[in-house]
Amino acid sequence: MDPNCRRREFLAGSGGVGVAGVAGCFAAPDAGRERGDSDSDSRSVAVVSQHHLATGAGLETLEAGGTAADAAVAVACALSVVEPWFSSALGGGTWALYYDAESNEVTSLDGVGPVGSDATPADYEDRAGDPGMHQSIVPGAWDGWMRWLERYGRLDLETVLSPAIDLARDGYPVSPGMEHWLEMRADRVEERPDAAAIYESDDGGDLVAEGDTIRQADMAETFEALADAYADRRSEGRTEAIRAARDHFYRGPIAEAIVEFSEAHDGYLTLSDFQDFEAEIVDPISIEYDDDLRVYQNPPNSQGITQLLALNVLKEYDLSGLDPDDADAVHVQVEALKLAFADRYHHVGDPDRVDVPVADLLDEGYAASQRDRIEMDTAMEWPIGSGLADSSSDAVDADHTTTFHVVDGDGNAAAVTTSLGAQFQVIGDTGIHINNRMRMLAVDDGDPNRLTPGYKVRHTSNPYMATRDGHPFVLGGNTGVDTQPQGQTQQFLHVAEFGLEAQAAIDRPRFVSTAFPSTQHPYDVEGTLQMEPEFPADVIEDLEDRGHEVEEGVGVFGTANMIVVGDDGDFQVGAESRSDTADGVVSRVDDD
């Protein structure tokens, strides 16, 4: 795969927001062909991600005979290299959904680690607004990915990691997005020697710029060490080999390096935090959207229930006759999302620490009572109480995530949102970029998301998967902290209610409500409705007449990617048209 080789296809986006398709220099997209036609000895596959090189890694893995799980891990690791401010398979956390075609089952991956044992609310509160190692939780993504490979994978770890290792060692060009984030975090890079060694040029110490080549030899060596740990135990069986790769991280030299760095930089992580941690494959939560559509989300401690709460309210409205940009359509979505976020605020945290009433929140009767609270001519304002009797608390710039999706030739499907935090904190000579997830923890007594050592943050990552008649229909995600459930709700409705194809659904202008406390410090309630500038002026005026405080073109609208599976099994891919690097591809892979 040539990291300098890309081509663009300019398509007509129904939202008028520009470039709609981007493809890298590998197998040409084949979206117009059905899975059963022509080549009986090949099968269609689809991959979409926020970077064409990561999409290429996923396609390469599928062509090598990998499953959707193998390809997802390959994409995640490649993104760790080329998009290291948004996610890291080594230093971040992951929530993901997987459809296993053989069992016809959807599962959820909880790859999120806990708060360090040495953390206390009193100590953290004094530093909550400052960047640094004290904001890092145990990185859970790697153990989660190993869980997926163990249950759903087929390839050896070296094959899965090979694209990421090659990209890290051989180098790749700086994208406009990387240049932008490096400029925003220039002060942090400058004061962190391990980050400066990667992101400052050799001649004069200036930050690398668009088109410059980045090489990350330390990260390549860390990936290679994990692959070697796997290979050393492969003769004992694949399960033992995967366990060795997990232990090398959490009970070996990687954990030791992270803890040593944490201790030297006033962090909270201990070796026992790593040794005791294991990711889990858990049951997802879901709602029936209509007779043949079911929407799946990740359970708490993910905020994924927020999207389901909104959709449970919205499903009884007749939206199909409206334009997606109609003021009524926007208003009712915004109000449903406000109610959903209020419930998230009042109830959702780590279920091992607080009682999250999932069944009550997703009850049809509760959705009906919430629906009754919406007035079509009036916008709700904070404080917004929960509709449940006993709230667990009193009412009183961020885009550090990436989302990607894979469908393999057997019909297995992976929907992934994985996150890091754009702080460019590099752990010594490991090349690992570590998360700053603790910025999303509260410190107030009674808050369901209160910082508690050994327990998990309410994690914002929450990809969704919709099935039709029990089989994958939509795999989607939208980044941007509190934007995620909002963008995903709009994205799903664009397809399910408004009949748009995948790319048009991604291109459509987005809105984001801030009528509730922000997830991250300092937890402000801005009380605005942020709208991309493509919305018609008369729609904005109508919404303002209903009481919405509209801000045009201001806000975090996130990046989104999706795959839609058509009635005949054909794939539609929607890649983020607001991005310089996003890429979706539909191709065919030969049967072995």
**In this predicted model, what pLDDT tens digit does every residue of 185-199 receive, in sequence order?**
999 999 999 999 999
Asked if residues 427 and 258 have their Cβ atoms less than 8 Å apart, the reply is: yes
Compute the distance between CA of residue 474 and CA of residue 470 in angstroms, rounded to an integer. Answer: 12
pLDDT at residue 1 is higher than 60: no
What local confidence, expressed as pLDDT, does residue 445 receive? 86
Asked if residues 453 and 391 have their Cβ atoms less than 8 Å apart, the reply is: no
What local confidence, expressed as pLDDT, does residue 261 receive? 98
What local confidence, expressed as pLDDT, does residue 25 receive? 30
pLDDT at residue 22 is higher than 80: no
Q: Confidence band (pLDDT; 50, 70, 90) for 422?
A: low
User: Mean pLDDT across the stretch 108-116?
Assistant: 96
The enclosing H or E element of 280 equals: strand 280-282
User: Mean pLDDT across the stretch 245-267?
Assistant: 98
What local confidence, expressed as pLDDT, does residue 460 receive? 79
Q: Confidence band (pLDDT; 50, 70, 90) for 274?
A: very high
Report residue 310 as tokens. 């909104």
What local confidence, expressed as pLDDT, does residue 567 receive? 86
Q: Confidence band (pLDDT; 50, 70, 90) for 285?
A: very high
pLDDT at residue 211 is higher than 50: yes
Asked if residues 41 and 590 have their Cβ atoms less than 8 Å apart, the reply is: yes
Q: Which residues pair with 173 in a beta bridge?
A: 213
On average, the pLDDT of the chain sits at: 89
CB-based burial, 274-307: b 16+ in 10 Å, e otherwise: beebebebeebbbbebeeebbbbbbbbbbbbbbb
Helix, strand or coil for residue 430?
Answer: helix
Compute the distance between CA of residue 502 and CA of residue 499 in angstroms, rounded to an integer. Answer: 10
What local confidence, expressed as pLDDT, does residue 377 receive? 96
Residue 320: CB atoms within 10 A of its CB come to: 10
Q: Which residues contact 381 (CB under 8 A, 6 or more apart)?
A: 515, 527, 547
Rg of the chain over CA atoms, in angstroms? 22
Tell me the per-residue pLDDT of 507-531, one tens digit each, with 9 for 90 and over: 999 999 999 987 777 778 999 999 9
Q: What is the amino acid identity at position 435?
A: N
- Higher pLDDT among residues 36 and 153, named by residue: 153
Compute the distance between CA of residue 369 and CA of residue 18 in angstroms, rounded to an integer. Answer: 40
Compute the distance between CA of residue 484 and CA of residue 337 in angstroms, rounded to an integer. Answer: 11
User: Mean pLDDT across the stretch 533-556?
Assistant: 94
User: Mean pLDDT across the stretch 63-71?
Assistant: 98
Residue 381: CB atoms within 10 A of its CB come to: 13
What local confidence, expressed as pLDDT, does residue 410 receive? 96
Residue 156: CB atoms within 10 A of its CB come to: 18
As a whole-number percent, the residues of the chain with pLDDT over 70 amount to: 91
What local confidence, expressed as pLDDT, does residue 533 receive? 94
Tell me the per-residue pLDDT of 161-177, one tens digit each, with 9 for 90 and over: 999 999 999 999 999 99
Nearest of 578, 550, 478, 507 to residue 334 by alpha carbon: 550
Q: Confidence band (pLDDT; 50, 70, 90) for 19?
A: very low
Omega cis (within 30) before 536 = no
Tell me the per-residue pLDDT of 342-352, one tens digit each, with 9 for 90 and over: 999 899 888 88
Asked if residues 417 and 379 have their Cβ atoms less than 8 Å apart, the reply is: no
Q: Confidence band (pLDDT; 50, 70, 90) for 592?
A: low
User: Mean pLDDT across the stretch 122-150?
Assistant: 95
Q: Confidence band (pLDDT; 50, 70, 90) for 204?
A: low
The enclosing H or E element of 167 equals: helix 157-170
Compute the distance between CA of residue 418 and CA of residue 401 in angstroms, rounded to an integer. Answer: 6
Sign, CA torsion 235/240/245/251? negative
pLDDT at residue 428 is higher than 80: yes
Asked if residues 154 and 103 have their Cβ atoms less than 8 Å apart, the reply is: no
What local confidence, expressed as pLDDT, does residue 302 receive? 87
The enclosing H or E element of 221 equals: helix 217-232
Query: In this structure, are strands 529-531 and 280-282 parallel, antiparallel, or unpaired?
Result: unpaired
User: Mean pLDDT across the stretch 471-480?
Assistant: 94
User: Mean pLDDT across the stretch 475-497?
Assistant: 93
As a whole-number percent, the residues of the chain with pLDDT over 90 amount to: 78
CA atoms within 13 A on the CB side of 493: 31
User: Mean pLDDT across the stretch 12-16?
Assistant: 25
Phi/psi class of residue 323: alpha, beta or left (left: φ > 0; alpha: ψ in -120 to 50)?
beta
Residue 253: CB atoms within 10 A of its CB come to: 13
What local confidence, expressed as pLDDT, does residue 93 receive? 94
Range scoring the smallest mean pLDDT among 4-8, 366-370, 439-443: 4-8
What local confidence, expressed as pLDDT, does residue 290 receive? 95
Phi, psi of 24 (to 5 degrees): -90, 180
User: Mean pLDDT across the stretch 432-454?
Assistant: 90
pLDDT at residue 236 is higher than 50: yes
What local confidence, expressed as pLDDT, does residue 190 receive? 93
pLDDT at residue 4 is higher than 90: no
Nearest of 506, 550, 560, 576 to residue 327 by alpha carbon: 550
pLDDT at residue 561 is higher than 60: yes
Asked if residues 364 and 320 have their Cβ atoms less than 8 Å apart, the reply is: no
What local confidence, expressed as pLDDT, does residue 442 receive? 86
Compute the distance between CA of residue 332 and CA of residue 210 in angstroms, rounded to an integer. Answer: 42
pLDDT at residue 72 is higher than 90: yes
What local confidence, expressed as pLDDT, does residue 405 receive? 98
What local confidence, expressed as pLDDT, does residue 38 receive? 42
Nearest of 403, 400, 412, 579 to residue 477 by alpha carbon: 403
Range scoring the smallest mean pLDDT among 18-32, 294-308, 358-372, 488-502: 18-32
User: Mean pLDDT across the stretch 217-242?
Assistant: 98
